[in-house]
Amino acid sequence: MTAPQDPRSLAWTIGAAIVVVLYVILLLGVESQLEIAGLLAAGIAAVAVAARFGVVARLGRFLGERDGLLNALVVAGTLAVTAFFHGDAFVLLLVATVIIYFIACLGLNLQFGYSGVLNFAGAAFFGIGCYTAAVMTVHTAVPHLLILFAGGAMAAAIGSILILPVLRTYSHYSAVITIAFGLLFKIFLEVNDALGGPQGLRVKGMNVLGWKFNSNIDIGGIEVSFYVNYIVLGLVLLALAFTFVRRVERSWIGLNLDAVRLDETAAACFGLNITRWKITAFTLGNFLIGLAGALFAMMLGFIAPTNFTFGDSLILVSIVLLGGIGNPWGLVVATAILIVVPEKLQAIQEYRFLLFAAMVILILLFRPEGLLPRSLRTYFPGWRAK
């Protein structure tokens, strides 16, 4: 059975989506620091009021049973914002960055949100993807789309070595191992001349069958920033990654990962091979993080070790904590907040880590399941027992 028709809720949802898109356009468009601060405050107040009157809950219930609609709205909204800012490189870079970070956080969510394997080396696996792209675009003739997957595969392969010590330790200790790995990775890059040392490496832009992603496009006399290319490709990859993560969650695999996270002993008593499922989550997650990294490197055209610090890993972890552990949709909201707000609100740029830390503490204290808490598993949205 499918979810029942509900035209009023549908109208409300589309209305809400339009309001959100207009708000995002407004937020990205204004320049004055005061106006941005005012808009942010207004946004928070509007969400609070909507939540107070049950609008948020109602939308959540409605969309919860209609996955496809939500996906379509998000893609359409992103394209609308992109079209509006078609010539504004700064804004489009932000949009593309949010998309790419979202993909990486989906990977982290598989690891930490589902199987409970902490990974404080997210930026390192992202960096492995970046450096793979740098080396392969410059030194090989491998098609660039394949290089994206090579970046993911490389991150997954190196992750499968790191998982060995992680599996031999528990909770905090395994977290410390991933922290150490993240630090080692950056130092390794800095002293390794073949990989450019501290100066970093140049990366060739994406080139698919002669379609050069890094040149601006001219459509009937209108100049369109080249970032649009990356936004479109990013959205395609995001849709694939999102579907993949959703299917993992809505299968016995997702159930196994949850069981491992929640109670290893009980899981083992029902035949679950704890090691197998932790490795599965860690490897698949690193693949997504590396894939995102490879795309990011091609977009920036230049990478250096300073892009992959422990601080960057912490941002990735904060996104997962803030968004709602285990909820892919929570990640959209959290990624947007953590990437866009400091870029727009230059005044807090210097203090952004302070602000992130404060946000994470507040969330953990008052809403430990995140801004958009994960809901119970539905294997098939809208499915009803006969």
Partner 1 sequence: MSATSNNNGATPLLAATGLSKLFGGVVALDKLDLQVFANQILGLIGPNGSGKTTFFNVTTGIYPVSAGRVVFDGQDITNLSTQAVYRAGISRTFQRSRLSLALSIFDNIMIGNHKRLNQGLWFNLARRDAFRRQFEESFEEARELVQVFDAPLADRMFEAIGGFPMIDRRRIEICRALVSRPKLLLLDEPSAGMTQEETTELMDDILEVKDRFQGLTIVIIEHEMGVIERITERCVVLNFGQKISEGAYQEIARDRLVQEAYLGIE
Binding stretches for partner 1 (CB under 8 A): 244, 247-248, 251-253, 255-256, 258-259, 262-263, 265-273, 280, 376-380, 385
Beta carbon nearer to partner 1, 57 or 187:
57
**Considering the complex, what minimum distance in angstroms separates the CB of residue 239 from partner 1?**
15
Spatial CB neighbours of 59, under 8 Å, sequence gap ≥ 6: 9, 12, 13, 16
Three-state DSSP at 202 gives: strand
**Considering the complex, what minimum distance in angstroms separates the CB of residue 178 from partner 1?**
24
**Considering the complex, what minimum distance in angstroms separates the CB of residue 274 from partner 1?**
9
**Considering the complex, what minimum distance in angstroms separates the CB of residue 163 from partner 1?**
17
Beta carbon nearer to partner 1, 224 or 255:
255
**Considering the complex, what minimum distance in angstroms separates the CB of residue 128 from partner 1?**
23
Beta carbon nearer to partner 1, 169 or 251:
251
Beta carbon nearer to partner 1, 202 or 377:
377
Beta carbon nearer to partner 1, 220 or 271:
271
Beta carbon nearer to partner 1, 365 or 376:
376
Beta carbon nearer to partner 1, 211 or 252:
252
Beta carbon nearer to partner 1, 209 or 385:
385
**Considering the complex, what minimum distance in angstroms separates the CB of residue 284 from partner 1?**
9
Mapping DSSP onto H, E and C, the string for the chain reads CCCCCCHHHHHHHHHHHHHHHHHHHHHHHCCCHHHHHHHHHHHHHHHHHHHHCCHHHHHHHHHHCCHHHHHHHHHHHHHHHHHHCCCCHHHHHHHHHHHHHHHHHHHHHHHHHHCCCCCCCHHHHHHHHHHHHHHHHHHCCCCHHHHHHHHHHHHHHHHHHHHHHHHCCCHHHHHHHHHHHHHHHHHHHHHCHHHCHHHCEECCCCEECCEECCCCEEECCEEECCHHHHHHHHHHHHHHHHHHHHHHHCCHHHHHHHHHHHCHHHHHHCCCCHHHHHHHHHHHHHHHHHHHHHHHHHHHCEECHHHCCHHHHHHHHHHHHHHCCCCHHHHHHHHHHHHHHHHHCHHHHHHHHHHHHHHHHHHHHHCCCCCCCCCCCCCCCCCCCC
**Considering the complex, what minimum distance in angstroms separates the CB of residue 249 from partner 1?**
11
**Considering the complex, what minimum distance in angstroms separates the CB of residue 281 from partner 1?**
12
